[in-house]
Chains A and B, each alone.
Chain A
Amino acid sequence: MDVSFILITLLIGAAATYFAGNKWASKVALLFSVAAFAVTLCTVNLLNNGENVNSVTRWIKNPMISISLVGDGLSLIMVLLTTSLTAIIILATLKNTFKNAKSFYALILFMAFAMVGTFLSADGFVYYIFWELSLIPIYFIALIWGGGEAEARKKDVIKFFIYTFAGSLFMLVAFIYLYQKTGSFTNGALVRVNLTDKEQFWIFLAFFLAYAIKIPIIPFHTWQANVYQKAPSAGTMLLSGIMLKMAIYSIIRWQLPLAPAPAKEYMHVLIILCVAGVIYGSILALKQQDLKKLLAYSSLAHVGLIAAGAYTLTLDGLRGAVLQMIAHGFVVVGLFYAAEIIIRRYNTTEISEMGGIRIQTPRFTSMFMILVLASVALPATFNFIGEFELLYSLAQTNIWIAVLGGTTIILGAFYMLRMFQQVMLGEQNAKPFADVTFGEGFVFVTIIGILLFFGLYPKPIIDFITPALENTLNLINR
């Protein structure tokens, strides 16, 4: 029993879903995603019992490439996030009916497969393959099942694809270059190679391009809002909930250990860039009239803070980044699901056409409210833990940066509450709004439960990830 089982489960799941036919696709997909989650839990358990969950398979002799999957605290927590969120996302989409559902769900599972692979692979080349692979499904999901005017959608989706593809190709070049230096792609070997600062700089840059586009960090973010808006909610959830976490995870797993010198030298530049993203995103969110775009920009802001934390190269920063990744993953999925529900009921994304929903839906309102509060990092929600550690790490580098980054708790509250007021409150809306069904409620309750529980008792996660992060830190400071 090793980590490869998770991948296999998901891959089989994707195939099975496709062949299950449109009628059963969603159910089968749900089944397999839950199975994958279960398998992940088992693996985590094994790891906690100190067993070896890694799996290595020889693949290509020349250049020397082997499919080596490594499960440590860092990667497995991300896998846990991925599988759980995938299950939740599939659960969330059960109600809607897609044309050609079998492909849709198969693609979702396949994407989960690719992303899990990205988190697990310790071989740079395999990692890159999974990284690219995860791009194809989301491309088709956004393209085929997306909403909005077709031409505009095409334009945005292709822009997104080329943009991210471009970024990652440079990462590939960097990997090959490293391979020429070391004769191996494995993370272990790559972090041990001695590079001149100049080489490190260029490699860092290549990686940065790939990640900055994926995360996204300003000014590489222009694809984001449009794609989030156009993609179907499931796609948006996958993108914002998991996919952009891939990039931040990669920063911690690959970029920083591989090229620590520039990371140290340009630390402040990077952090300021990210923090600028926080403020920029927040202020833009204030101006959005489109619900999904608003959430997209808020996500831009939060993720900027996470990246900033990761670049502080402190334990708190890394830990905060990981914690916040998880927290943000759940919150953003929840928020987009809420948005999805509203949009499905009113079939518009214009905030101006909403409002006065609270009267009709006490349950939905409370759930939405809690999610909003979580996303503004109210204490005792999981997000607070993450955001606190992040800001604390920023404060360790420079108190003023911390103040700047801290404005997120003000601006965040500003635009989120504004949105909540415009969407939910006010005199009763003319259009009727049915309160959440049991299924929808279940999704929300799950997410909220997770957020609140770990908000008060994050110890299990912290203890799980800290050793891995300490290793990373040692590699960075080697």
Chain B
Amino acid sequence: METNLALLLLLAPFIGFLINVFAGKKLSGNLPGILGTVAVATSFAVTLSFFLQVSSSKEPVMIDLFEWMQLRNFKVNIAFQLDQLSLLWLMFVTGIGTLIHMYSISYMHDDENVHKFFAYLNLFVFFMITLVMGSNLLIMFIGWEGVGLCSYLLIGFWYKNHDYNDAAKKAFIMNRIGDLGFLIGIFILGFIFNSLDYTVIRTAIESGKLLQPSWGISIAALCLFIGACGKSAQIPLYTWLPDAMAGPTPVSALIHAATMVTAGIFMITRLNFLFDLAPEVQNIIAIVGAVTSLIAASIGLIQNDIKKVLAYSTVSQLGLMFLALGLGAYQIAVFHVITHAFFKACLFLGSGSVIHAMHGEQDMRYMGGLRKVMKVTFITFLISTLAISGLPPFSGFFSKDEILMTAFHDNKPLWVIGSVASIMTAFYMFRLLYLTFYKDFRGTEEQKKHLHESPGLITFPLIVLAILALVGGAISLPGNSWLNEYLAPVIAKQSEHHHMGTTEYMLMGVAIIGAFIGIGLAYAKYIKQSSVPGQDSEITGFAKVLYNKFYVDEIYTALIVKPIYALGSFFKNAIEVAISGFIFGLGKLANVLGTEGKTLQNGSIGFYLFAFVLGICSIIVYIFLAK
């Protein structure tokens, strides 16, 4: 029974995918969308039932289907594990997934390939579920690469535009770099534990009888973290995420904000018992996370493309989550994942709604004053913005604040970085808000005419998400946290959760003040002075560096892509030529000798006889006189 239900949970989106792929073209109007939505909704329903069951019974549901792979010292099965963590993840994956599907029905309805869109979207959900449900690392890897594939397909959804295709390609390849790390990590774990099952590894660790020196584990952890960097867009593998905004906005919301990019956090949380054994790696994670959040936030400060800003804010928020992971505060990371999923999805969908209204215009410099026409969008957007800026009582406040608190307790510098990042966040988010919704409209008259509030199918998800963004913090209030209780079974080492003392309240205060500083700056600049970001050419100095994302892409091109191509031409024009030249050289040599032989054969009997006698003499000399 459980097996069937689990399979239903897993396969419902896949079936949706199949139907949309094979029959989608014939389905008329919104049917593909509705179908896709229903598919995901089904999964959500099933997830819910499992969720209730597990959260009451505290007993994870294990499903073992059949043997998949054989390796020297162990086998790998197709098996699934529905425990607190995976179910929690499934909840918001399928939940938000459903909403975004719903949203897309309207958002994409006039696209020629709408059925493909929903097919891919369903496929993504399917792989995401696989990733989360898998009971061993290889199953996770299936999902891991599967979601990468879907993100590739969806980023390049408008495949006529080669820039989009490049973005898609970039995303896939950068993910692959991470995946290689992931694979290597898997190999090492395979050697050490002779298994890839989470449960086995965990018991092996907790039983405390490890044959291998722990540096093996550290390396494994590091490799896995590299994998996480790829998926979750951390330094140095983050540059694909902003480009990924080439995809349709719902995609950005679902894949590149709410779900896929959190896979890295999921993986590390999954293997928390492993990472606990590698404190040095945890340090690296924390630092990388903090730095990423800072860098991304700083770039976000002056982007003008509404989705780019959100993208960088996503990167920065992910950075904060990794910071938490690095500090060993897994529950808090998960907490922030969830809240972030709520408000970031909402923000993206909101921006989508705006873009929809603006007929594809994404540059904030040509927006403004939309709050009059787009009430719902504005309000939901405002709520989410407040949430991400970390103002109480919005969900973002609690999660982010806990992260910073932990940072403060364990590692002050990181706390500073994190705080600065969140101040920046507050600034650029409100900059976004002001530029988009306040003041007067700066677009063309043409656009102005068509400005309108989006239809219900779009606004409904916005509202739902906004509400969640508002109250989401409730699942883990400081002091008494439902989430920590719930996740306790899957987290090996309980992070000492600090009672709320004066320091804590002080820190909260600092955070809030920081947020207000950010908001204040934004207000001063964009409302008081009502300044509008200038054209790209006008940007100068450090701003220019920021605007060009620290030229990271250029650096990568110069350092990696170009050399590879150069190497390619070297191989092609030098080595290949040399080798085949050598081979042909042998042939030529033979021909030359042949020509010599021809000239020797000069047709004169005299010479022939002479050679004859010469032969005789040499033979006789050799045999009789050479002794």
Binding site for B on A (CB under 8 A): 159, 162-163, 219, 222, 280, 283-284, 286-287, 314-316, 319, 356, 358-359, 362, 366, 373, 378-380, 385, 388-389, 391-393, 395-396, 399, 402-403, 406-407, 409-410, 413-414, 417-418, 421, 425-428, 456-459, 462, 466
- Smallest distance from the beta carbon of B347 to chain A beta carbons, Å? 30
Decide yes or no whether B450 CB sits under 8 A from chain A.
no
**Please, could you name 8 A-B residue pairs with CB atoms under 8 Å apart, sorted by A?**
A286-B564, A378-B149, A388-B183, A391-B183, A395-B188, A414-B169, A425-B159, A459-B70
Does the CB pair A280–B69 fall under 8 Å?
no
Question: How many interface residues does B have (CB within 8 Å)?
Answer: 50
Other CB < 8 Å A-B pairs besides A280-B571, A391-B187, A417-B152, 20 of them? A162-B587, A286-B564, A287-B569, A362-B25, A392-B72, A395-B188, A396-B72, A396-B191, A399-B184, A402-B184, A406-B180, A410-B173, A410-B180, A413-B173, A425-B165, A428-B160, A459-B66, A462-B69, A462-B70, A466-B70
In the complex, which of the residues A163, A284, A358 has the most CB atoms of chain B within 10 Å of its own CB atom? A284
| Interchain CA distance A159-B177 in the complex, whole Å | 38
Does the CB pair B183–A283 fall under 8 Å?
no
| Interchain CA distance A398-B116 in the complex, whole Å | 43
A389 partner residues in chain B, CB cutoff 8 A: 69, 71
B68 partner residues in chain A, CB cutoff 8 A: 456-459
Does the CB pair B187–A426 fall under 8 Å?
no
Does the CB pair A380–B146 fall under 8 Å?
yes
Decide yes or no whether B250 CB sits under 8 A from chain A.
no
Q: Given that A316-B71, A392-B71 are contacting pairs, would A410 and B177 also be in contact in the complex, using a CB cutoff of 8 Å?
A: yes
Decide yes or no whether B576 CB sits under 8 A from chain A.
yes
Does the CB pair A314–B187 fall under 8 Å?
no
Query: Which residue from chain B places its CB closest to the CB of A410 in the assembled complex?
Result: B176
Does the CB pair A407–B180 fall under 8 Å?
yes
Does the CB pair A388–B69 fall under 8 Å?
yes
A403 partner residues in chain B, CB cutoff 8 A: 180, 184
Which of B141, B172, B190, B583 touches A222 (beta carbons < 8 Å)?
A: B583
Does the CB pair A459–B67 fall under 8 Å?
yes
Decide yes or no whether B156 CB sits under 8 A from chain A.
yes
- Smallest distance from the beta carbon of A289 to chain B beta carbons, Å? 10
B166 partner residues in chain A, CB cutoff 8 A: 421
| Interchain CA distance A65-B393 in the complex, whole Å | 89
Query: Which residue from chain A places its CB closest to the CB of B190 in the assembled complex?
Result: A392
Which of A284, A456, A459 touches B576 (beta carbons < 8 Å)?
A: A284
A427 partner residues in chain B, CB cutoff 8 A: 160
- Smallest distance from the beta carbon of B580 to chain A beta carbons, Å? 4
Decide yes or no whether B142 CB sits under 8 A from chain A.
yes
A426 partner residues in chain B, CB cutoff 8 A: 159-160, 162, 165
Q: What 7 pairs between A and B have smallest CB-CB spacing?
A: A287-B568, A395-B187, A379-B142, A222-B580, A425-B159, A406-B180, A283-B568
Does the CB pair A414–B180 fall under 8 Å?
no
Does the CB pair A413–B176 fall under 8 Å?
yes
- Smallest distance from the beta carbon of B78 to chain A beta carbons, Å? 7
Query: Which residue from chain A places its CB closest to the CB of B578 in the assembled complex?
Result: A219
Does the CB pair A219–B579 fall under 8 Å?
yes
A287 partner residues in chain B, CB cutoff 8 A: 565, 568-569, 571-572
Q: Given that A286-B568, A399-B188, A459-B67 are contacting pairs, would A222 and B579 also be in contact in the complex, using a CB cutoff of 8 Å?
A: yes
| Interchain CA distance A40-B53 in the complex, whole Å | 51
Does the CB pair B72–A316 fall under 8 Å?
yes
| Interchain CA distance A315-B70 in the complex, whole Å | 10
Contact with A along B431-443 (1 / 0, CB 8 A): 0000000000000
In the complex, which of the residues B21, B78, B173 has the most CB atoms of chain A within 10 Å of its own CB atom? B173
Q: Given that A315-B72, A359-B160, A389-B69 are contacting pairs, would A414 and B173 also be in contact in the complex, using a CB cutoff of 8 Å?
A: yes
| Interchain CA distance A63-B168 in the complex, whole Å | 63
Decide yes or no whether B524 CB sits under 8 A from chain A.
no
A417 partner residues in chain B, CB cutoff 8 A: 152, 169, 172-173
Query: Which residue from chain A places its CB closest to the CB of B564 in the assembled complex?
Result: A283
Does the CB pair A373–B149 fall under 8 Å?
yes
Does the CB pair B141–A319 fall under 8 Å?
no
Does the CB pair B169–A421 fall under 8 Å?
yes
A456 partner residues in chain B, CB cutoff 8 A: 68, 78
| Interchain CA distance A427-B191 in the complex, whole Å | 49
Does the CB pair A159–B583 fall under 8 Å?
yes
Q: Given that A388-B69, A426-B162 are contacting pairs, would A283 and B567 also be in contact in the complex, using a CB cutoff of 8 Å?
A: yes
A458 partner residues in chain B, CB cutoff 8 A: 68-69
Q: Given that A286-B564, A392-B71 are contacting pairs, would A402 and B160 also be in contact in the complex, using a CB cutoff of 8 Å?
A: no
Does the CB pair B180–A425 fall under 8 Å?
no
B402 partner residues in chain A, CB cutoff 8 A: none
A316 partner residues in chain B, CB cutoff 8 A: 71-72
B70 partner residues in chain A, CB cutoff 8 A: 319, 459, 462, 466
Chain B positions 560-604 with a Cβ under 8 Å from a chain A Cβ: 564-565, 567-569, 571-572, 576, 579-580, 583-584, 587
| Interchain CA distance A283-B560 in the complex, whole Å | 12
Does the CB pair B172–A413 fall under 8 Å?
yes
Q: Given that A283-B564, A373-B149, A399-B188 are contacting pairs, would A409 and B183 also be in contact in the complex, using a CB cutoff of 8 Å?
A: yes
- Smallest distance from the beta carbon of B141 to chain A beta carbons, Å? 6
- Smallest distance from the beta carbon of A425 to chain B beta carbons, Å? 4
Decide yes or no whether B363 CB sits under 8 A from chain A.
no
Contact with A along B47-75 (1 / 0, CB 8 A): 00000000000000000001111111000
A358 partner residues in chain B, CB cutoff 8 A: 159
| Interchain CA distance A428-B152 in the complex, whole Å | 20
B145 partner residues in chain A, CB cutoff 8 A: 378-379
Does the CB pair A418–B141 fall under 8 Å?
no
- Smallest distance from the beta carbon of A444 to chain B beta carbons, Å? 15
Query: Which residue from chain A places its CB closest to the CB of B567 in the assembled complex?
Result: A283
Query: Which residue from chain B places its CB closest to the CB of A316 in the assembled complex?
Result: B72
Does the CB pair B142–A380 fall under 8 Å?
yes
Decide yes or no whether B179 CB sits under 8 A from chain A.
yes
